[in-house]
Amino acid sequence: YEPEDPDPSIPQGISYFRIDDKRILKIRVSLDVPDHSQNSGNEESRLDSQVPMPPPPLPSGMETLPPLPELPHPPSNDD
């Protein structure tokens, strides 16, 4: 939807597409995000109640992950 007189308080995204050597098409899209606060609360609570996704599978040929390297010692303040 591209209104003839867009609301100046709503940000607009503008893209230019070259059609040929003489013509350029300008597309203007409103970047206004509709307020769905009534639906978003229900959706968030539904997503929170779902079981978390399992970790992705290991690369083929790996049975377990390699051990993590040891962490370096923190710097001392004995100077």
Domain boundaries along the sequence of the chain: 9-33
What's the whole-number mean pLDDT along residues 39-63?
Answer: 69
Q: What local confidence, expressed as pLDDT, does residue 16 receive?
A: 94
How far the first Cα of the chain sits from its last, in Å, is 66
Q: What local confidence, expressed as pLDDT, does residue 43 receive?
A: 56
Global confidence as pTM: 0.35
**More confident position, 49 or 5:** 5
With a cut of 70, say whether residue 40 has pLDDT above it. no
Q: What local confidence, expressed as pLDDT, does residue 15 receive?
A: 92
Q: What local confidence, expressed as pLDDT, does residue 41 receive?
A: 53
Strands (E), the chain: 12-18, 24-30
